[in-house]
Structure 1
Amino acid sequence: MKPFKRGESFRYTFKNPLPGRFKLHMDQGRERASTKEGALLIKDISPKGMRFKTEYTLPVERIDFELEIHFELMDQPITMAGRPIWRKGAGKEILYGFTSVEDAETEKLIIETLKSYSKEDKKKQ
């Protein structure tokens, strides 16, 4: 696996990981198969990706699938599609790096929602 360095200037790290859920979608010939939902905890996020942990082992070496992640931030449901690009750890503490497919609308939504979340979080301190 190639080393990966994220070249983004905007990344928000949560004090307490944000809960979310995911599904794997795999192309199988002409059909698309999906897994049941799994739980994850988002440690940090940017408009183009995130770091999350889960107890599930995801196939980072394969490229024939898509990961769909759902979570809520400031009562705003957000869905990101993409794939994990690296994995560290084992057991209940598997950490993943995730990169999303280009989606300007979702990226804008994440930026706006994170700005509001950050302002609210600062008010609480």
Structure 2
Amino acid sequence: MHYKRKESFRYTFTEPCEATFRLIKDASGLTAQEISKKGTCKIIDISPHGLKMFTEFSIAIDKQLHVELHFTIDESPINLVGEFVWSHKKLDGYEYGINLPSDINTEQLIISELKSLRRKSMNLEK
């Protein structure tokens, strides 16, 4: 098997991570225009470059919307803006793939939080 050293990993939560989100219209400007109130979602899996979230809300992702997410993996709160890539209808809601911007600080925060969470779960298993 060929190992891709530069390819990022994806961490799947055993219990999905609770999060809140809101839709915004333009994340590239100085101020993002809010177009929805906060909603709740669950993050199913995450990598430094993207995540999969589940929510009961149907979102028209073809309108080039961005999503602002607020969640905590282990201890530090994480606030970021991502872009919808795909959606899948599920029995009781919708799954969405979200691409995260390339930001070294955010990537390092996600990685360190995942490492901390994993260390804690390993200590509980002992």
Q: Give yes or no for TM over 0.5.
A: yes
Aligned position for 2:3: none
- 2 CA distance for matches of 1:9 and 1:25? 27
Q: Which runs of 5+ in 1 are unaligned?
A: 1-6
4+ aligned runs moved over 6 Å, structure 1? none
Structure 1 residue 73 displacement after superposition: 1.8
Query: Structure 2 unaligned runs (5+)?
Result: 1-5
CA contact (8 A) 1:55 1:91 kept: no
Larger % of strand: which?
1
Look up the match of 1:4. Answer: none
Q: TM-score, normalised by structure 1?
A: 0.83
Matches within 5 A, 1:102-121: 102-121=102-121
Q: C-alpha distance in 2, partners of 1:93/1:41?
A: 11
Instruction: Name the % identity.
Output: 34
Shift of 1:92: 3.0
Specify whether residues 87 and 57 from structure 1 end up closer, same or farther in structure 2 by C-alpha distance, changes over 3 A only: same
Partner of 2:33: 32
Question: Normalization by structure 2: what TM-score?
Answer: 0.82
* CA RMSD of superposed structures (Å): 2.0
Contact 1:14 / 1:44 at 8 angstroms: preserved in 2? Answer: yes
Describe the shift of the 1:108–1:31 C-alpha distance in structure 2 as closer, same or farther (beyond 3 A). closer
Measured in 2, the distance between the counterparts of 1:114 and 1:102 equals 18
Q: Does 1:75 align with 2:62?
A: no
Query: SS of the counterpart of 1:34?
Result: coil
